[in-house]
Amino acid sequence: MIFLVLCFSLTSFAVETFTSDIKGLESLEKRPYFKPESDWVGIPMPYGPVEKIREELEKRIGKKLQHRGEAHITVITPPEFRILSQTLKMNTIDKIVAKEGSMKAPIKVLCLKKVTAVLGEKTEESWFISVESAELREFRNQVWRRFVANGGIPEDFAWKRWAPHITVGFTSRDLHDEDRISKEKAECTYELKAL
C-alpha cells in the first residue's frame, strides 16, 4: 500500500505539457530578417508561436509577463562580444555568420524553462524556450577559433558554455548569468508538444 502511494506521489510531479506551434517556430521559411547588431549576434525567430506560448503561460501562472515583442536566439551575448572584440571586429563575425549559414541554422525546440533570482528584495522570473542547434554551436566554435588565431586567450571566450534559448517573458527584466542564474542547468517546467 505504501509503495502504491509513493508511486502515485512521484507521478504527480511529472512535467505538464503545452501544445504549441513548434513546427512554425522551427520553420526556416518563416524566419524573419534580422539586421546585425553592434555588440551581439542573434538569430531571428518567428514571433507568433512565442507570443501564443507566452499567452498560455500567463494563464497557467496567473500573471502577466513583460516581453520584447520579438523573438530571437542570442548566439553571442554583449559581454561575450566585449571579450571577442579584443581581436575581432563585428564585420568579421558577420562574415562567419554568412559563411556558416547561421541565419538559416536549423533548431530543435526542447521545452519551456524558468529561472528565478532575488533582485533587491523581490524574486524575479524569466521564462524561455530551450532549443538546441549543432550548427549554431559550430558557429560559436568557428568564432572562438578565429578569436584565438588572432591572438585571443582561449579561456577568455567559453564557446561551449551556452544555453541556446528564446526568451518568452519575464517579470521585471530578463535574467542573465550576471544575476547568478544558470539557464544551462535549468530544469524543464513544461514540455512543448507540436499541434
Contact, 166 vs 125, CB < 8 A? Answer: no
Quote the pLDDT of residue 153.
97
Q: Where are the alpha helices (DSSP H) in the chain?
A: 2-11, 22-26, 47-61, 78-84, 90-100, 134-149
* 9 domain residue, yes or no: no
Predicted local confidence at residue 34, as pLDDT: 63
Task: Return the C-alpha torsion angle 185, 189, 191, 192, nearest 10.
Answer: -90
- Domain span at residue 72 reads 14-194
Q: Per the domain annotation, does 75 fall within a domain?
A: yes
Per-residue pLDDT at 32? 81
Q: pLDDT band for 132, please (50, 70, 90 cuts).
A: very high
Answer yes or no: is 71 within a domain.
yes
What CATH number is attached to the domain comprising 133?
Answer: 3.90.1140
Q: Is the Cβ–Cβ distance between 166 and 108 less than 8 Å? A: no
Question: Is 8 part of a structural domain of the chain?
Answer: no
Neighbouring-strand partners of residue 16? 190
Could you tell me which of 142, 68, 65, 130 has the C-alpha nearest to residue 99?
A: 142
Residue 101 within any structural domain of the chain:
yes
% of the chain exceeding 90 in pLDDT: 67
Give residue for cell 548566439.
75
Count of the separate structural domains present in the chain: 1
In a domain, 121, yes or no: yes
pLDDT at 68 over 50: yes
Rg of the chain on CA atoms, in Å: 19
Does residue 185 belong to any structural domain of this protein? yes
Mean of all residue pLDDT scores within the chain: 88
104 has a pLDDT exceeding 50: yes
pLDDT of 54 reads: 96
Instruction: Flag whether 148 is in a domain.
Output: yes
Q: What is the pLDDT of residue 30?
A: 83
Tell me the whole-structure pTM to 2 decimals.
Answer: 0.87
pLDDT digits (tens, 9 = 90+) for 176-195: 988 889 999 999 999 999 88
